[in-house]
Structure 1
Amino acid sequence: MSASNKLPADLAAFQNSYAELFGSVPPLPAAKFEFSGDIDPEALRLAEQLRAHAFYSDIFDTKTTQLMLFGMLLVLGAGAARFHAIAARRTGATWEELHKVAELASAVVALGPLNNGSAILNELRTNEAKGN
């Protein structure tokens, strides 16, 4: 936001939810609130409603959600994984839980090409044996 503009109360509450979860607003969301809040606050509002709906549910507790997000972002190689590890710790995750998530992410990344490649090759071999 430009210095003269302030976020509407609902967007400020969304922004504050980052600080509550991470201890501060990370750089990417901070830039999102500054720029999108200025340019298209309704788009920002819709994005934050989706985030809130997904991140805070009655299905998973916040710690579990943060552990899953940590793993998903590790698989993507996204720097935001660090912030979700922080949030997981702040919501009670142990070092062992976080490490297990890193192990799972590593296995997913390492085994994915072998699983997919084997399925493709098996199908090709089967088709070749049939003369296709």
Structure 2
Amino acid sequence: MLPKRIDRAVVKARIGEYADSERSLEDRAAIYQELIGFVPPRIEARLSVTGALDPALVDLQEKMREHAMYPKCFDVKTAQLMLFGMLLMDMSDAAVLHGIAARRAGATWEEMQAVVSLCFLFRGLSAANRGAELLANIAEHEARQDTQAKG
């Protein structure tokens, strides 16, 4: 479901240590933890690698992401549902992350399916099939999280 995690020790040894003196790597990762429940592997890679080589760029990227992803006119659930649909239309593997975020923000399964159905109208059966697969994968992810939380 998700790409392979990076080895942060190898990044640190070969590329360099995270170098932003204003915000720690953990601080940067916290928004993803809150939104999705974990830091996705590609985001972890960007924060670690670019954070070592060009921390000013990471700061700019994160400011732009925050500004665009949290508009004042939409609540988090609505923004995440829209992102889930946009990424599903592109058949992007990042759609699952925004689907997880939408669920964590309170989206129901019916709302998630409605987004998949809207994608179907303009993208066809491939979006319907992929959307159903993503919803099933998100349900499995939630079940694993519940099992881990219980003990």
* Residue matched to 2:58: 44
Matched, 1:65 2:75: no
Post-superposition shift, 1:31? 0.8
Aligned length: 110
Identity of aligned residues (%): 43
How many angstroms apart in 1 are the aligned matches of 2:99 and 2:54? 30
Residues 11 and 45 of structure 1 are in contact (CA less than 8 Å); yes or no, is this contact kept in structure 2? no
Rg comparison, structure with higher value: 1
Q: Which ranges in structure 2 are unaligned for 5 or more consecutive residues? A: 1-10, 125-151
How many angstroms apart in 1 are the aligned matches of 2:62 and 2:90? 21
Which of the residues 55, 75, 78 maps onto 2:69?
A: 55
Matched, 1:10 2:23: yes
How many angstroms apart in 1 are the aligned matches of 2:116 and 2:94? 14
How many angstroms apart in 2 are the aligned matches of 1:22 and 1:91? 9
- TM-score, with length taken from structure 1: 0.76
* Residue matched to 1:122: none
Which letter maps to 1:29?
A: I
SS of the residue aligned with 2:79? helix
- TM-score, with length taken from structure 2: 0.67
Q: Which ranges in structure 1 are unaligned for 5 or more consecutive residues? A: 111-132
Q: Compute the RMSD of aligned alpha carbons.
A: 1.7
* Residue matched to 1:97: 111
Aligned runs of 1:111-126 on 2, under 5 Å? none
Post-superposition shift, 1:107? 1.3
How many angstroms apart in 2 are the aligned matches of 1:22 and 1:54? 17
SS of the residue aligned with 1:14? helix
Residues 66 and 84 of structure 1 are in contact (CA less than 8 Å); yes or no, is this contact kept in structure 2? yes
* Residue matched to 1:127: none
Which letter maps to 1:94?
A: T
